[in-house]
Amino acid sequence: MEAAGAPREGEAARSPARGSRSHSGRLLLRMPEALHAELARAAARSGMSLNAYINDLLSQTVGGRAAPRRTGRSSERRRPVERLLVLNAIVLVVVGALAIALLVDALR
């Protein structure tokens, strides 16, 4: 499937004249289907979108660090997990305090 405006085989890629425009942040990249599928599975395992996963990989390769992430699905998935962990900690503290209170009362 070819994107609109994408250069066809044998055509030179159109690029802006030097200094006339900054990079848009968009990149059309063709890759083997098997690699695409493997990257998609790895992104899913990481709980990230494919785009965010590839951005992180490229940032680590080029700059040795992860790219700053925009808020998106990956952070939305983490929020409920973080909330559940905090709720779990609160429940454990309450149950622990109740157990200590019952133990003290039983020892009287």
- Work out the pLDDT band at 106, boundaries 50, 70, 90: very high
Residues 66, 95, single domain; the answer is: no
* 93 found inside a domain: yes
Per-residue CA distances from 33 to 9, 36, 43 (Å): 18, 5, 15
Cβ-contact 94, 102 below 8 angstroms:
no
Mean pLDDT of 78-97: 87
Using the structure block, give the residue that is written with the tokens 């660090």: 65
- Do 52 and 66 lie in a common domain? yes
How large is the average pLDDT for residues 31-46?
91
User: In the prediction, which pLDDT does 74 show?
Assistant: 52
Within-domain flag for 81: yes
Q: Which domain holds residue 103?
A: 73-108
Within a domain: 1:
no
Q: Are residues 56 and 87 in the same domain?
A: no
Q: Give the model's confidence band at 3: pLDDT under 50 very low, under 70 low, under 90 confident, else very high.
A: very low
d(CA 34, CA 15): 29
Q: Above 90 in pLDDT, residue 33?
A: yes
